[in-house]
Amino acid sequence: MSCKPYHLRLGLTLGFLVACASLGLPVALPAATLPNLSGTYNCATLEVAGTTKPCTAPSLELKPDGSYRLLSESGNYEIVGGHWLDLSSSSKKHSRARLDGSKKIVFEFISHGKKNRITYRKKFQRPSGWVAI
């Protein structure tokens, strides 16, 4: 049985990721390696000091090329350790978020001494060429 270059490369990459994870080292993956993360995310819930409030936060757009846009802020993003989304912005409030699968992104931060949580959910987008009958 021969080993194709793609399978060898995949095996080495997975081996590296498993080794880093077992040592507790954070691993940053280029956003392009996780294309299912790209899309538009709408604010689903806003919690301030444990109280849920109406969410008026702007949509977050993650593009397949590894860039993002949040209102007027834009930059690049990467996946760290498979569970964290890092945004390359100067904003400390929205710099790192927890990934909850591929459809939910949770930002947690402290503002005015209160713990806040903003949860974004991926907006369903119909495939191109889809026609309703």
How far apart are alpha carbons 98 and 79 in whole angstroms?
10
Q: Give me the tens of pLDDT residue by residue for the chain, a chain 133 residues long.
A: 444 443 334 343 444 444 444 444 444 444 444 447 889 999 999 999 989 988 888 999 999 899 999 888 889 998 888 889 988 865 555 678 999 887 899 999 888 898 999 999 998 766 667 676 7
Residue with the two structure tokens 């569970």: 83
Q: What is the dihedral of CA 108, 110, 116, 117, to 10 degrees?
A: -10
Q: Where are the domains of the chain?
A: 26-122
- 28-30/114-122 β-pairing: unpaired
Residue with the two structure tokens 């993360």: 37
Handedness of CA 39, 20, 16, 28 (dihedral sign): positive
Q: How many residues does the chain have?
A: 133
Tokens of 46: 């806003």
117 to 8, 52, 108, 113: CA distances (angstroms): 41, 9, 4, 13
CATH no. for 26-122: 2.40.128
21 to 9, 32, 58, 91, 101: CA distances (angstroms): 18, 20, 34, 28, 18
Read off the pTM. Answer: 0.65
